[in-house]
Structure 1
């Protein structure tokens, strides 16, 4: 469903599958969020750099992927379907008037149109490919607009909820490269881990939830550099967990 997601073909032999929830800032033509167009280029609308990074990483690992093709301001696919922020009315100081005005029927229709097809297809792909490990790619802003005094200095973060098997392998590997790595930072997977809770923890599948600071992957060269860095770490983590 091009309106909701795109897929990258890959081999089940890779033992991996990528899910990228916030890779697009696309707003369908029949939806008017009531925001200035410039807002769609900000981190509140899209994980900057993740679309390009996802394609490069999946290509290097030859793994299948499902990549969101709709802005998180339309439906935030990295929230539970019944979470109020699945159709956010506010994000980092930006008001989303059309979402604030949604009644319950309209909100349910938005969820039915985008959330359920996306996560339904992700579940089908996991069943089909039977990966040894899932991974997800996100990016974070170096400084929130509503907390301009607080810097977020990490180069990358690894998030997890109850299952930290992959995190415990990957964090020291990234640190060994000289990176400043957030352990459940810049925010905690104990509080926000919706997609991996649904598709990994519920199945007992290990997973790697990777956040990269968006200024590091905002251009083609940055994305290429980080794809070269991350792909071996993801593969090594998968292999370590199979032993």
Structure 2
């Protein structure tokens, strides 16, 4: 089953008390009535979305029964993984790329049109699903264009704020695959954890905030491999946390 609105898209039906997936940056779509002033190539890069996560989420839903709630608009239109008052909610620059269409943007208009419907729908969906574990899926670029000498060596990272138990289990399980695993890398969940702070930690819902290096999931083969690994780690983590 697929449901879709302007702000969110869903694949599959949650198993009550099971595992679900959310992904804030799964789309680089810009509405037809909006002009950001950047190229399609720039939108297709990591500044426009989290490369590869939509394909991974689709496979996890269809092959592993892990239903997904996905953002359906580019992070450059509004960043769904920020608090409402965050100064980069509507970025005017990203990794050295100017986004002229966001200068003087209607902040409240974008909150009402995209951000609030996305998070309100997620909260209702999670409330009805009562998940045993939430997988929050993101991807990261191997090196920022603005800092090309700072390579990020991790294959995958686990982010967390106050709730670290599930993340620590998952770090060990990913390491068993022979992966280089980051602990609150390449970003710290103590600083950047908006969606899971709101929908997981605030409700005492266990979660895994997973960051996959995007060169590993750019093609279908990589997406299929990582969908299988993440589903396996999520299920084993859910068993370990009870």
TM-score, normalised to structure 2, is 0.96
Alignment partner, residue 29 of structure 1: 32
Q: Between Structure 1 and Structure 2, how many residues are aligned?
A: 239
Alignment partner, residue 144 of structure 1: 144
The Cα offsets for residues 191-217 of structure 1, whole Å up to 9 and x where unpaired, read as 100000000000011100001000000
SS in 2 for 1:208: strand
Alignment partner, residue 19 of structure 2: 16
Separation of aligned partners in 1, 2:17 and 2:179:
26
Structure 1 gaps, min length 5: none
Alignment partner, residue 53 of structure 2: 50
Contact 1:4 1:69 in 2 (8 A): yes
The Cα offsets for residues 161-196 of structure 1, whole Å up to 9 and x where unpaired, read as 111121011001111111000000011001100000
User: Post-superposition shift, 1:61?
Assistant: 3.2
Alignment partner, residue 180 of structure 1: 180
User: Post-superposition shift, 1:36?
Assistant: 2.0
* Residue 167 (structure 1) aligned with residue 170 (structure 2): no
Separation of aligned partners in 2, 1:155 and 1:216:
8
| Greater fraction helix | 1
Q: Could you list the runs of 4 or more consecutive aligned residues of structure 1 that deviate by over 6 angstroms after TM superposition?
A: none
User: Post-superposition shift, 1:11?
Assistant: 3.5
Separation of aligned partners in 1, 2:72 and 2:198:
20
Alignment partner, residue 67 of structure 1: 70
Alignment partner, residue 40 of structure 1: 43
SS in 2 for 1:85: coil
Alignment partner, residue 83 of structure 1: 86
The Cα offsets for residues 92-143 of structure 1, whole Å up to 9 and x where unpaired, read as 11111111222xxx11111110000000000000111111111111100001
Separation of aligned partners in 2, 1:5 and 1:80:
17
Alignment partner, residue 126 of structure 1: 126
Contact 2:12 2:62 in 1 (8 A): no
